[in-house]
Structures are given as structure tokens and as C-alpha cells.
Chain A
Amino acid sequence: MVRLEIHKMSKINELAKLLTEVLSEGKDIDSSEFPFINITGDINGKGILWTGQGYNKQFIFSSNPDRFFLSETLDLARGKSISINNIDVLSEKELGPTVTKSNLREVGHLKGLIVDGGFRVNQYLVYDANTDRLGLGTEEPKAALDIVDQNIEIVIGASDPNVGFIGTFNSTDLELGTDNTARITIQAGGNIVLGNPSQGDSKVTVLGKLGVNVSSIDPRSSLHVNGALKFNDKLHLSGNSEPTSGAFNEGDIVWNTDPRPGKFVGWVCTRAGNPGVWNGFGRIE
């Protein structure tokens, strides 16, 4: 119930009209509480109408579901906000802190971004929160970082807890390069090419000892080759006699693995053949 006092009014035609005028023209209303207006009966569609200027402007109750319907945009005064249960949900500058869910597809320039959970960009960049893996061009990254480019999958991560790994995941070559040019190629089958056949000679320097097909490099040698070697297209191998089979070229040498005084230090192929003609050289004094 509202206490309504109307002062110094000389002419009032009828009570309803009076009250309508009170509401519409703002006669003095001295109220200690908010006035309320009971709208009774079928309340659907009942409320406040503004008529006479274009279509009817409405602020009415509407049912199914129960709600207030406004025909116009709602404009709040500067600094005012919309709250639910007295908790701000929307103001001129911000959404309320309890509004945590959205389907926003555009945001402005964010000052920062913290994501708990998955992260997907354009169905291309995928961070899988379960595996803690980042994929570029793949939804199922096979390593901490997995890049799929033109169907080549490059993975970077750890192959076990003590070993880092950089390489291709599938049976494809990997090039390591500088100046956007391949310098080292690790082929799918494991062969390694140092240098690039399509480029000039690369100088490959071993700052240490190089072992070829040896499990333990002799510390006295800088180059330790397990088997035969060939240079200037001539073969150097070891044996306790000249070869009796196999194809050899003139100049190929077999070093004597059983040298004795009066014996030769090795044998040299003096005519190509199978095995060709071999002669001893360097008789040991």
C-alpha cells in the first residue's frame, strides 16, 4: 500500500483520470516507498503503452515464458549498470565477474590471455591440454611440438626422459640447413649426407676423433676406420697374402697383416683384373 498525497488541486474530474495524470504528467508524489500499480486479471500484454507517435511503444508483461517485454532499446544513464540479484552483470565498460560463459566469436585486443585447457586456432594450431602437446597442422601432435607441413611431420620433444629429439616422424628425409639451404640431410632410411650435392663443396670438420664403423675409437688415432679405405680411387686393405679373388684395380694395395723380416710389407696390384696381377713391395729388412 502506498501513501499518496496530492496537494492544492482544484479540479479533478475522476479518480482514474487523476491517477493517470499523476502517472503521466508527474504531479507531486510524496512517497516513502516505491508506488506500485496492481495490474489484475489477464496480465499478459498489460503494462505501460506509449501511443500516438508511430507504433505503440511498450513496456508490458508477457507470459510463456514470464518476462517483461520492451519494444524499445533500453538506455541506461551514464555509470549505471544491469545487475541480477544485485550482482552487476553488464555496465558501460565491462561484463560482471560472474559472467563466465560465452559464445563470443570476436574480442578486442586482449591485454593478456590465460587459457586453462585446450587451445585451437583455425583448425591448424592445436594445443592438447591432456597431452600437453602443441600441433601445427595436426590435431594429434606426436611430440611436445609437432609440425605437419605438406604432409611432412616434424617433431620436437623428448624421445625418452633423458633424450631430446628433433626429426621427422614418418619415413621422410630431414634437412638441416642454413641460409634456407639444406646442409645436412638425414634420409628416411638413416643415411646421412653432410653437404649438399647441388651446392659447392662443404668443408666438414671433425673437431675430435672420427671413427668409422668402430665401436671404440682408438684414442691414439684421429681417424679410426674399421674396414678398408679407398682414396684416389685406390683401395687399401689388409690381408695375410695377396688377394686370390675379387675385382681389383692397378694400384690397389693389400697391407700384410703378418709382416716378418724378409717378407714384404704389402702387395700391390700391378694389373687390373680378377684378382689381377699382384706383386709384393717393401721387403722388410
Chain B
Amino acid sequence: MADKYITMNNIDNILSALGDELKGLAQQSAPNTKEIARKLPLRSLTGDHINGGTVQNFASTGIKDTATKPQLTIDDFGVHATRLTVENLENLTVSGTLKVKILEVDEIKADIKFEKDTPIVFSGDQLDGKGLLWAGSGHTKQFIFSSKPDRFFVSENIDFARGKSITVNNIKLIDENELGPTVTKSNLREVGQLNGLIVNGNVRIDQYIVYDSTTNRLGLGTEEPNAALSIVDSGVELVLGSKDSVKGFIGTYASHNLEIGTDNTARIIISASGNISLGNSKLAPVQVSVHGKLSVRVNTPDPEVDLHVNGAIKFNNRLQKYDKTYPISGSYNEGDIVWNITPKMNTYVGWVCIQTGAPGLWGPFGKIGNS
């Protein structure tokens, strides 16, 4: 054999020699395989001489097979390896699942859909500032835990979907249209146009309208109303209410006149001291009608008369009064009359002042006679 090693180039010569040898051996008692191999020229066998069986301790220029059991299988579906150690993998596309115990990379690029079936947990002794950060576009957007006091800090507006609400302990705090029913306290200084308003307690409007819930009194222009309704205007307090359970009262509270009017004009004027004017001295005389009986300073009016005056009367500026005789003192005017309080037959019914003076001159008139 010319060559020491079997190669694909000399395999035909080797097999030919091997056939001759086998033929010779067949004629001999037993073939000597070593002799046969020795006689084959090196690199003379081709792969076509091999089919089946197992090549052991196989090695080629690029392959060294020292396995004692199958590690790599190649079929029409591809290469199947039981255990693969690769020093350098240039490009790898994995269409299935890649399970990695330890993955060391310099750079990873991925479109990631991160699915979890357990909560995301931030743990440790320092939770402050931990949470979600969105960085890279302007300032860092944060949704983090912050302590002292414990709270979640959110750097951005929070926008809820239409129809959603904010609740505390599952009780609505606010939604798009309303504050929850448990939100009862505020410091609002502006409200919209209210559909209705119910107030329990005091009301103060512009330091002018004051309702005191303790006294149940309403003041306009006063913080201390002196009646159910008290109106202070230009320093005059007008009160409306009652002083007892049988009478209502309307009037001034302090020493001020009261005018009662029509057509925005005073018609009845009650002075602070109590004098009463029916009509208005600044206007044309009015008519005052008493539909009934009128009494002046009389405790028990005479039901038979329409006008009952306790004392003297005066008309056409002339005095008329009753007395036992004509006056001996006092000032009188011509025409004043004193009626005889004790008229008798043949006396006079009265005396008339015939000259003004104190008491002036007086003459009897109306001699009383038989009817």
C-alpha cells in the first residue's frame, strides 16, 4: 500500500486491493485484515465504500468525534443536538421559545410585551421615591410612593375615562358632574347659580344681611337685629316682629320718627316722642275719615255719640268749654264760649267773650226760659 492513510482519493485502489486480498484470503485459510489494510494505498478509499455501521474515534480536519453516545443527529428536518456549546454565534433567529439560564449580553433590543400574573412589587427598606418613571421627554414623569406622610405622588394630571369617578372607601368623592354626598365641608368662595339653597345655621351676606340662628332674627344693615326683622337704613332701625304673643309691632326701635306712606310719600307720621300727624304738612290737606266713633282722651267713649272729647273743643279757632261761670283768668279771644255747666231757669245757657283779653270781657247769652 502506497499510502499510510486511507483517503477519499485512494479509496478505489484500496477497495480493489482489498478485493484481491479477500479473494486471495478466500483461497487461504483466514484473511488477515491488518495485511489487507496494509496493502491498501493511503487516501485510496472513498465515502461510497461506507454505508451503515458506526465509525469510532472519527476525526476529520474540521471534526473531532470523541463521543461515546449520539450527541448530534442530522436529518431532513435539520440538525438536532442534545447539548450544544458554542463559542461564537454570529446570528441567531429563534422562531420558538428560547430558554436561557444565564443570558449575558452587551446590548438588547426588543419590542417587549411584559405579561405578569403577579403584582409588580417594589420591596425593601427604602420605598420612598420608588414607582413608575417616564423619562426622556422633558422632565421625568412620576408615579411614585412618597413617605411622610405616606402617599402616592403623581407629577402629572390624572385623567379618568368618561363616566368614571374617584371614590374613597368605595364611596364616590367626585365625578364629572358632582361631588359625593359625604363631601360636606369646603372653603368654596365661588359657587355657580344654585338651583336651591338650604342652610342650617347663620347666614351673612356682604356684612349687610345677617341671619342669627340663635335668636332667629334677620337683620338688614345690622348685625344685632332687635326684632324678627330689623332693617337699619341711614342709622334708623325699623323693626318688625312682636313684643308678646298677642300683638305684632312695626316701628322704629330707637328715638326716630316713623312715616307710613303711599306713593312713596309720608301720609301718617309718628314722631319719636309719640305725636301723630295724619296727613303731611308739606302737602295739600288730606281727608281723614273715621268710619266709626272718635273719642279724645276718653277712657269709656259714649256709645251714643260719634265724637266724644274729654275736654274743651275749638272750632273756627273759637274755644268752647263748660264751666260754672265765665272765666276770671286766662287768655281768651272774642267769640270764645263757656257753656253753663249748671243751667237753671232764668239764667243763661252760657257766656260769650265779647272782647279779647285775660280774661277779656264776657257777656251772658241764651236766657233759659220755658219751652
Q: Which residue of A lies closest to B285 (CB)?
A: A208
Contacts of A83 in B (CB 8 A): 157-160
B110 interfacial by beta-carbon distance below 8 Å: yes
Find the residue from B134, B170, B258, B274 having the highest chain A CB count within 10 A.
B274
Q: List residues 107-155 of chain A with CB under 8 A from any CB of chain B.
A: 107-125, 129, 136-137, 145, 147-154
Query: Could you say which of B100, B193, B257 has the most chain A C-beta atoms within 10 Å of its C-beta?
Result: B193
A35 to B109, CA, bound (A): 15
- Bound: A92/B42 CA distance, A: 95
- Across the interface, A104 reaches (CB within 8 A) one of B133, B184, B320, namely B184
Let me know if A285 is at the binding interface, CB within 8 A.
Answer: no
Q: Is B365 an interface residue, CB under 8 A from the partner?
A: yes
Q: Is A245 positioned at the interface, with any CB of B under 8 Å from its CB?
A: no
In the complex, chain A residues 208-240 whose Cβ is within 8 Å of any chain B Cβ:
208-214, 217, 222-223, 225-235, 237
Determine if B341 and A173 form an interchain contact, defined as CB atoms under 8 angstroms apart.
no
Interface residue? A275 (CB, 8 A)? no
Given contacts A74-B152, A177-B250, contact A281 B349 (CB under 8 A): yes
Q: Residue on B with the closest CB to A193?
A: B295
Q: Which residue of B lies closest to A207 (CB)?
A: B279
Number of contact residues on B: which range applies?
A: 35 or more
Contact A49 B127, CB 8 Å, known A184-B276, A202-B275, A225-B307: no
In the complex, what residues of A have CB within 8 A of residue B158's CB? Answer: 74, 76, 80-83
Q: For residue A266, which residues in chain B have a CB less than 8 angstroms away from its CB?
A: 349, 366
Q: How far is the CA of A8 from the CA of B104 in the complex (A)?
A: 11
A245-285 Cβ-contact flags toward B at 8 Å (1 or 0): 00000110100000000001111111000000011111100
Q: Which of B119, B229, B280 lies in contact with A60, CB distance below 8 A? A: B119
Q: Count of A-B contacts with CB under 8 A?
A: 584
Judged by a CB distance under 8 angstroms, whether B343 is at the interface is: yes
B322 within 8 A of A: yes
Write the nearest CB–CB distance from A202 to chain B, whole angstroms: 4
Partner of A203 from B107, B145, B248, B276 at Cβ < 8 Å: B276
From the candidates A104, A147, A279, name the one contacting B228 in the complex (CB within 8 A).
A147
Whether B305 and A229, one on each chain, are in contact in the complex, defined by CB atoms closer than 8 angstroms, is yes
Distance in Å: Cβ of B330 to nearest Cβ of chain A: 15
Q: Tell me, rounded to whole Å, the shortest Cβ–Cβ distance linking B97 to chain A.
A: 12
The interface residues of chain B lying within 8 Å CB-to-CB of A231 are 308-313, 320-322
| Cross-chain contact B119 with A151 (CB below 8 angstroms) | no
Highest count of chain B CB atoms <10 Å: which of A23, A203, A231, A235? A231
> Distance in Å from the Cβ of B369 to the closest Cβ of chain A?
6
Cα-based distance from A185 to B178 in the complex (angstroms): 54
Nearest to A180 among chain B residues (CB) is B253
Name A30-63 residues within 8 Å CB distance of B.
30-31, 34-35, 37-42, 45-54, 57, 59-60
* Complex contacts, A1 vs chain B, CB 8 Å: 111-113
Instruction: Verify A85–B289 contact, CB threshold 8 A.
Output: no
Task: Establish whether residues B147 and A53, one from each chain, have CB atoms under 8 Å apart when the complex forms.
Answer: yes
- What residues on B are CB-neighbors of A3 within 8 Å? 110-111
Distance of A14 Cα from B182 Cα, bound (Å): 49
A189-206 CB contacts (< 8 Å) to partner B: 191, 194-196, 199-206
Residues on the A chain within 8 Å of B191, using CB: 107, 110, 113
Q: Does B244 contact A (CB under 8 A)?
A: yes
Given A53-B127, A72-B151, also A180-B342 (CB < 8 A): no
B181 A103 Cβ-Cβ under 8 A: yes
Whether A106 contacts B278 by the Cβ 8 Å rule is no
CB–CB A50/B276 < 8 A: no
Chain A CB count within 10 A is highest, among B164, B201, B216, for: B216
- Asked whether A49 and B122 contact (CB < 8 A) given A113-B194, A233-B310, the answer is yes
B370 CB within 8 Å of chain A: yes
Closest chain-A Cβ to B216's Cβ sits at a distance in Å of 5
A48, A108, A120, A145: the one within 8 Å of B131 (CB) = A48
B359 in the interface (beta carbon within 8 A)? no
A158 within 8 A of B: no
**Contact flags (1/0) for B100-123 with A, using CB distance below 8 Å?**
101111111111111111111111
Please indicate the chain A residues that have their CB under 8 angstroms from the CB of B176 in the complex.
84-85, 87, 89, 96, 98-99
Residue numbers in B under 8 Å from A200 (CB-CB):
274
**A2 vs B113: C-alpha distance when bound (angstroms):** 7
A178 and B111 contact, Cβ closer than 8 Å, known pairs A107-B188, A152-B247: no
Chain A residues within 8 Å of B185, by CB? 104-106
* Cβ 8 A contact of A73, one of B143, B149, B198, B368: B149
Q: A165 CB to closest chain B CB, in angstroms?
A: 11
Q: A228: which B residues are within 8 A, CB to CB?
A: 304-307
> Which residues from chain B contact A206 at a C-beta distance below 8 Å?
277-279, 288
Minimum CB–CB distance for B103 against chain A, Å: 6
Say how far B297's CB is from chain A's closest CB, in angstroms: 7
State A101–B117 Cα separation when bound (angstroms).
Answer: 40
